[in-house]
Structure 1
């Protein structure tokens, strides 16, 4: 009895695999005997054998006896053929990206015709989220954003997560400035770590911020009421206003810091400097005028702060962050 299919993923039909494996186990069968062994209908076996011969999986000798090609050769040939087919499919899928550009240009022209003044008013939270999703879908190069508040609500994260991930999958460069406290909120911090792991750049600012989204430097979105985003938003297309919003974003970006650039305390800075140059813990403790036990405790705390597992890694991490 033939086991379950193992060649389906290599584009071999079940009845073809059945016939090939029966021939492997019972070499020398003729077509009629093969039909009986496989339970094929009259006339079905000829088409199966012909297909197996085309794939070079079996040979039919002059006496009409079937012999199976070595399985190792067959599998390698099938893999090579399937990889070629997959490569061609991928090429066709990648080539279809040009269609999105054509449709996006039509869409941009439509927006331009519908909004001759350069500013569009969108009212209501759901309408704003739908418009953000639409603008994000047609963003191909860069997405800039400022989240004035540090923490995001669960609803806001749910609404923006998939559009953000979709942009990152397409290779869109994303830069985002968040207000202070973003990394202190577990929900927001988890969301940002997920996006940073996929390529988004994030900075945290202690200064007052203004909410803004800028799509491909062609369209921007700002709230109608900065204190209540549920009121709606203004969608800006006008070049002069866009230039001002871009300059505002870059100013926010330059004055913000990376989430992992949390400054060391004065004590940690001292321990770091001594740890790098001291050969022994006793020497480091003497320089700081503390006990060896206290010195080792502070070194361990510093390493936890840096996320390092040893002192060499801690020193390298501190150097990368520009702290030494």
Structure 2
């Protein structure tokens, strides 16, 4: 099914003096993302800059938006589902003329790594985060596609054209991007580094405990403790224990 241009086009636009118009657009976008804003207005509002659609139009809407990208495509992905599947299929199958930024949660990272391989590394910046993330697509900083929250009408999504509202959505994505880590680096980390024992060692390295005290606290021999420390530093490509602690946070092995 194709989406008629009118399904993606909104009327009006934000300019100085149109505060009510801007507020309406931001509230609608926030309601879809955060599920916390309800609209209870008794006054007349200007035409909306958020075009709502249903799940049958999702793939076509994403294809149209990505196909018009000139500079950048930024996307946040969580888990599996129609949004993630459509986004990865379109990104991998479309001629890459722009910078592609993908931020995903841990449950989507392997799928992202597999599907994004056709995109040249020079064009792709893929990262993973442990933070709470909302699905979102932003094209050129001028238009965004926002799926509805889980408890909203099934399959609903919105295409947001209002410049200020899109900017607000970009800031939400930038906040999630902060503290994320490179997807390829994350996948290269040995599963051995993700054990409870290694986390305990890393916490003590960060706290500055002596080897003797740390080994005693986690109930291993001093020799075993030092062997683990050497393996951790080698795996994290760290030249000092302090650097190992910093890298552990960057890689999500320790919370900040």
What's the TM-score once normalised by structure 1's chain length?
Answer: 0.45
Question: Is this contact kept in 1: 2:205–2:242, CA < 8 A?
Answer: no
- 1:185-235 alpha-carbon deviations (Å, 9 max, x no partner): x4455446776956223231323x332211111111112454468523211
Q: Which runs of 5+ in 1 are unaligned?
A: 1-109, 275-283, 307-312
Structure-2 residue corresponding to 1:36: none
Task: Tell whether the 8 Å contact from 1:196 to 1:202 is kept in structure 2 after alignment.
Answer: no
Any idea what SS the aligned residue of 1:169 has? coil
Is 1:143–1:214's contact at 8 Å kept on the other side of the alignment? yes
Can you list the C-alpha shifts for 1:54-113, whole angstroms capped at 9, x where unaligned?
xxxxxxxxxxxxxxxxxxxxxxxxxxxxxxxxxxxxxxxxxxxxxxxxxxxxxxxx7699
Question: For residue 128 of structure 1, what is the aligned residue in structure 2?
Answer: 58
TM-score (norm 2): 0.55
Q: Which residue of 1 aligns with 2:88?
A: 161
Q: Is residue 168–residue 200 contact of structure 1 (8 Å, CA) maintained in 2?
A: no
User: Aligned pair count?
Assistant: 192
Q: How does 1:1-324 map to 2 (within 5 A)?
A: 115-117=10-12, 118-125=49-56, 127-147=57-77, 149=78, 151-153=79-81, 158-165=85-92, 169-170=96-97, 172-183=98-109, 186-188=110-112, 190-191=114-115, 197=121, 199-207=124-132, 209-227=133-151, 231-254=155-178, 256-258=179-181, 259=183, 260=185, 265-268=199-202, 291=221, 293-295=223-225, 297-299=227-229, 301-302=231-232, 305-306=235-236, 313-315=237-239, 319=243, 322-323=246-247
Could you report, residue by residue, the CA deviation over 1:274-298 in whole angstroms, capped at 9, with x for unpaired residues?
9xxxxxxxxx789967756414641
Between structure 1 and structure 2, the one with the greater Rg is: 1
Counterparts in 2 of 1:288 and 1:221: CA distance versus 1, 3 Å: same
Q: 1:144 & 1:291 partners in 2: Cα distance? A: 48
Q: Output the CA distance in 1 between the equivalents of 2:202 and 2:127.
A: 25
- Cα deviation, 1:95-151, whole Å, max 9, x if unaligned, reads xxxxxxxxxxxxxxx7699532433232224x111110111011011112222x3x2
Contact 2:138-2:170 at 8 Å conserved across structures: yes
Larger relative contact order (Cα-Cα within 8 Å, sequence gap ≥ 6): 2
- Structure 2: 5+ residue runs without aligned partners? 13-48, 249-256
Distance 1:165 1:267 in 2: 40
Report the aligned-residue RMSD: 4.4
